[in-house]
Amino acid sequence: MSIKIENLSYSYRLPSGEKVDALRGVSCDIAAGSFVGIMGPTGSGKTTLIQLLAGLRAPTSGRIYLNGEDINAKGYDKSSLRQVVGVVFQVPEYQLFATTVEKDVAFGLKYSGLSPREVTARVQWALETMGFDFAKIRHQSPLALSGGEKRRVAIAGVIVTKPQILIFDEPIAGLDPYGRESFLQFATEMNQAGTTIIMVSHNMEALAEYTKQLLVLAQGRLIDYGPTREVFVTLNQRRKAVFGQSKAQRIAAMLAERKPDLSSTVVTYADLLSALKQELGGGDLG
């Protein structure tokens, strides 16, 4: 399912009547099966973009097409959008409301037409995918879980409908290293299975190591979009101070103080390793 964003703008209106331009003329195409990272400073419009993609806000101007269909056109079936686009918000705890974890996760399947037995099987799949023991967790209250567990339940409640596009707003903020790693592994597996992943993150490592495309916002404008490595290299050359670097980039920069020809295209740890192997003898170190 391809996404086309065309000259998209969004302005909030404050109670005072003042206008806040959160997105300004953003255009880009996201091919089916992409794994797109969205980065940008606080307030650059990332969450607003996601809300528009999920159809939760209508653009002030511009259009969003899913497989060629304008999702804000009159007559477009917004409820079908929910089956196709799954969103896990920045504070997913707010997405939990039922009395048990099982009911919470099953909610998205209410109008799916699946039989009760199929619903249970699907809920079990979603919770197990998120690393839970189904028998243990199903009757618990979502409110009694830890922050990280709540987030995993919220994600289960979104993937349960098997949406073709999965959008995450800051999914790994506040997770421990194990939780981060397993989330990123999970996102990669979903992507390999064909799901389009869109992930907002401030974590440079996660963006560098896991995403395939990177979309960069600053003050509501799209300032770069392309293959992750290329975008990292460009940002490193031009706007390092604003966007920072991945750790592999930082290590490469430190080494380059002594060895100026060390590749400036190092972005990931794998890049760093192969640049070092090259340095040590033509890459035949094994």
Binding site residues, ligand ATP, CB under 6 A: 12, 14, 20, 22, 40, 42-48
State the minimum distance, in angstroms, from the CB of residue 105 to Mg ion: 24
39-78 residues in contact with Mg ion (CB under 5 A) are 46-47
State the minimum distance, in angstroms, from the CB of residue 21 to ligand ATP: 8
42 binds, among ligand ATP, Mg ion, none (CB under 5 to 8 A by kind): ligand ATP
With b meaning 16 or more CB within 10 Å and e meaning fewer, what string describes 217-256? bbebebbbbeebbebbbbbbeeeeeebebbebbebbeebe
97 binds, among Mg ion, ligand ATP, none (CB under 5 to 8 A by kind): none
- Of the pair 169, 224, the CB lying nearest Mg ion is at 169
Six-digit token string for 112: 């799916």
- Of the pair 160, 214, the CB lying nearest ligand ATP is at 214
State the minimum distance, in angstroms, from the CB of residue 58 to ligand ATP: 14
- Of the pair 2, 219, the CB lying nearest ligand ATP is at 219
20 binds, among ligand ATP, Mg ion, none (CB under 5 to 8 A by kind): ligand ATP
- Point out the residue whose Cβ comes nearest to Mg ion: 47
| Sheet strands (E) in 84-220 | 85-88, 165-169, 196-200, 213-218
The closest of 163, 80, 173, 160 to 121, measured between CA atoms, is 160
State the minimum distance, in angstroms, from the CB of residue 117 to ligand ATP: 40
State the minimum distance, in angstroms, from the CB of residue 20 to ligand ATP: 4
Six-digit token string for 90: 């920045």
Residue 244: helix, strand or coil by DSSP?
coil
Q: Angle CA(23)–CA(26)–CA(29) in degrees, nearest 5?
A: 140
**CA–CA gap between residue 14 and residue 12 (Å, rounded):** 6
Pair type for strands 3-13 and 19-30: antiparallel
- Of the pair 46, 162, the CB lying nearest Mg ion is at 46
| Contact residues for Mg ion, defined by CB under 5 A | 46-47
